[in-house]
């Protein structure tokens, strides 16, 4: 069930953005309110005067004598409409276009920045498609909410307030009836809309789940085809879409029932007031122009109160849409920079793990791990799946923090420096490189934006990627597709290697960096990797042990513990040793 606190959190976030453009927002409010005052209040008053002149002077033989008065009133009406439509509302409209598009941009940028602050686990546990949908919904919610506040809530407040004042000059009894009825109607409308918000939230949650499922299934379209599981995926999605259909159906039904009750009440209040207006006209207590004025104001008020029902529903629905993203803002960011980070002093890349303990979901990965890697050393990391190899990388990048102990690089605790400063000093080639849906040049250039085109091409040549790049349709400007889907596994890996070469950092991590290459390509690229590893602290995670023979030292992990370490030649001599067994198995 939604509460006022969550609503205020959403509105407070929006007000923070609005506050940056207070003057422009004030101009928009004044323009919108003044336009309504001229168009919907003053104009009907002058129509009343026209009717009164016609009725009072209907027996006048020389009607031309009325023309100056009539032309005068028509001129006033024309002026009112032109000032409202051409001047006030257009000024408000153009100001709102600039103001609203600017804030929508700011909100989108802010959402992106806030999302990127979250840890590795956050993205591992959330669908990318759902996160994108939530970003889109919050800025669209801002657009709808501000439209409703300016052009519905404000304008209706002005309309009702001045209508009541104008009606009071005609008949206090009409003012009392309409005021009491309007207050009761608005109280019921707001309470109903707030109660209904829980179902708006349920619809929004279903929509996020559908977006996430669609994104997941479309991203994995090839596996679906390979395993012929279209029916399963369709049924899986169908369960969520059916849940949304039922929730949405119930939500819309209760809205229609409220419309039935509200519409019936409006019919009765209109007929009752017109009935009494006619009776007062019959006994000459009000003029024919007053009857027309009452009818005009009444129709305007009731029509806009009717539309206000949709506005309030959309207002609360928009709050629901925005709340999902606000909840993410309020989610604790697990990995954060300290308040006063130290200046990064990483130069050579000496790494030290001191008394390191780490558990994931209650399962211990490391317990009092101590490991020292001198600067410039090439270290091979070996172990079966789950031994802690990947976790070691995450800890070094500070995607996760240890439960105990610390990690030092060049004697500096990595938790004391900015995360970006840390990561700028580490190059990484993963087992499954993920590329941007951009050009090949952009993907390599991402390693170091200051690099020249010549340097990018050199990195590609060193990574044995230049030849296949030149065979593509647009060469370095060829787009690689989402996540690099247009390239083969080996081609993607060579692009990732070129990117790491271009980054040129003191620390290099290779996680199965040649696993997608055939023997010929691997032989060619090993030379490039050997050059890349020179004078760099290098961690090489590999299952293919032949790639580790040139390492200065090989470390064997088992269940988070170092069970063996030494050179390749030393380790294969250990009788019944883990590394020796793995080597024998792969050799055979």
Q: What is the pLDDT of residue 299?
A: 75
Annotate 509-530 with b (16+ C-beta within 10 A) or e (fewer): bbbbbbbbbeeebbeebbebbe
Architecture, CATH, for domain 4-329: Up-down Bundle (1.20)
**Tokens 């787009």, residue located:** 479
Query: In sequence order, which residues have a C-beta less than 8 Å from that of residue 443 and are 6 or more positions away?
Result: 435, 436, 480, 484, 495, 499
Q: What is the pLDDT of residue 472?
A: 87
The predicted model scores a pTM of: 0.70
Chain-centroid distance of CA 25 in Å reads 24
Q: How far apart are CA 466 and CA 312, in angstroms?
A: 59
Q: Would strands 412-413 and 404-409 be described as parallel, antiparallel, or unpaired?
A: antiparallel
105 C-beta neighbours (distance < 10 Å), count: 11
Structure confidence at residue 4 (pLDDT): 62
Distance CA 404, CA 425 (A): 24
Among residues 468, 484, 485, 464, the alpha carbon closest in space to that of 476 is found at 468
Three-state secondary structure readout of 39-106: HHHHHHHHHHHHHHHHHHCCCCCCHHHHHHHHHHHHHHHHHHHHHHHHHHHHHHHHHHHHHHHHHHHH
Q: State the residue for tokens 């270290």.
A: 379
What is the pLDDT, as a whole number, of residue 103? 92
Output the tens digit of pLDDT for each of the chain's 588 residues. 455 666 788 888 998 899 899 898 999 989 988 888 888 777 777 777 777 776 666 555 455 666 677 778 788 878 888 888 888 888 888 888 899 999 999 999 988 888 888 877 777 777 777 788 788 888 888 999 998 888 888 888 888 888 778 777 777 777 787 778 878 877 887 777 777 777 777 887 787 788 777 877 777 776 777 667 778 888 888 888 888 888 888 888 877 777 777 777 777 777 777 777 777 777 777 777 777 777 777 777 777 777 777 787 788 778 878 887 888 888 888 888 888 989 988 889 999 999 988 887 778 888 888 889 999 899 988 887 777 788 888 889 888 888 899 999 998 999 999 988 998 898 888 878 888 888 999 999 988 888 899 999 998 988 888 988 998 889 999 988 877 888 887 888 888 888 888 888 899 998 877 766 666 666 766 777 777 788 889 998 887 777 788 888 998 888 878 888 888 888 888 878 888 888 877 765
Q: Where are the domains of the chain?
A: 4-329, 351-587
Is residue 415 within 8 Å of residue 336, measured between CB atoms? no
Q: Which fold has domain 351-587?
A: Rossmann fold (3.40.50)
């Amino acid at each position: 069930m939604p509460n006022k606190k969550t609503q205020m959190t959403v509105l407070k976030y929006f007000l923070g953005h609005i506050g940056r453009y207070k003057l422009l927002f004030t101009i928009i409010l004044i323009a919108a309110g003044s336009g309504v005052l001229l168009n919907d209040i003053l104009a009907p008053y002058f129509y009343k005067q026209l009717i009164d002149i016609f009725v009072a002077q209907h027996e006048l033989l020389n009607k031309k004598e009325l023309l100056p008065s009539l032309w005068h009133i028509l001129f006033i009406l024309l002026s009112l409409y032109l000032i409202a439509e051409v001047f006030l509302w257009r000024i408000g409209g153009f100001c709102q276009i600039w103001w609203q598009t600017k804030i929508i941009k700011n909100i989108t940028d802010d959402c992106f920045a806030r999302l990127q602050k979250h840890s590795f686990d956050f993205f591992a546990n959330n669908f990318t498609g759902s996160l994108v949908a939530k970003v889109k919904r919050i800025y669209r919610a801002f657009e709808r909410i501000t439209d409703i506040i300016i052009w519905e809530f404000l304008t209706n407040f002005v309309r009702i307030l001045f209508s009541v004042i104008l009606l009071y000059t005609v008949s206090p009894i009409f003012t009392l009836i309409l005021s009491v009825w309007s207050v009761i109607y608005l109280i019921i409308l707001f309470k109903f809309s707030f109660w209904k918000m829980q179902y708006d939230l349920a619809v929004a949650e279903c929509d996020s789940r559908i977006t996430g499922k669609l994104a997941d299934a479309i991203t994995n379209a090839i596996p679906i085809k390979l395993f012929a599981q279209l029916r399963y995926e369709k049924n899986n999605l169908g369960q969520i879409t059916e849940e949304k259909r039922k929730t949405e159906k119930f939500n819309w039904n209760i809205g229609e029932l409220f419309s039935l009750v509200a519409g019936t009440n409006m019919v009765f209040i209109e007929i009752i007031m017109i009935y009494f207006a006619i009776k007062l006209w019959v006994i000459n207590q009000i003029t024919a122009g007053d009857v027309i004025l009452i009818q005009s104001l009444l129709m305007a008020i009731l029509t806009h109160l009717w539309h206000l029902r949709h506005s309030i529903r959309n207002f609360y629905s928009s709050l629901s849409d925005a709340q999902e993203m606000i909840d993410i803002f309020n989610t604790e960011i697990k990995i954060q920079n300290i308040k006063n980070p130290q200046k990064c002093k990483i130069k050579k890349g000496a790494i030290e793990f001191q008394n390191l303990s780490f558990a994931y979901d209650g399962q211990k990965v490391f317990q009092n791990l101590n490991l020292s890697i001198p600067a410039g050393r090439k270290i091979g990391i070996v172990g079966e799946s789950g031994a802690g190899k990947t976790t070691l990388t995450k800890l070094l990048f500070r995607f996760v923090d240890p439960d105990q102990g610390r990690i030092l690089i060049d004697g500096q605790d990595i938790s004391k420096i900015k995360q970006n400063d840390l990561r700028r000093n580490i190059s990484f080639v993963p087992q499954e490189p993920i590329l941007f849906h951009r050009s090949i040049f952009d993907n390599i250039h991402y390693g170091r934006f200051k690099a020249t085109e010549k340097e990018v091409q050199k990195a590609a040549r060193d990574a044995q990627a230049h030849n296949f790049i030149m065979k593509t349709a647009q060469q370095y400007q060829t787009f690689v597709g989402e996540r690099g889907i247009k390239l083969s596994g080996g081609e993607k890996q060579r692009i990732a290697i070129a990117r790491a070469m271009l980054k040129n950092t003191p620390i290099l991590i290779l996680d199965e960096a040649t696993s997608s290459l055939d023997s010929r390509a691997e032989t060619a690229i090993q030379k490039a990797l050997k050059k890349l590893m020179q004078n760099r602290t290098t961690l090489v995670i590999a299952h293919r042990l032949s790639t580790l023979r040139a390492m200065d030292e090989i470390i064997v992990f088992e269940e988070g513990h170092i069970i063996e370490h030494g050179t390749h030649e030393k380790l294969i001599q250990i009788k019944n040793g883990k590394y020796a067994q793995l080597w024998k198995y792969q050799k055979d």
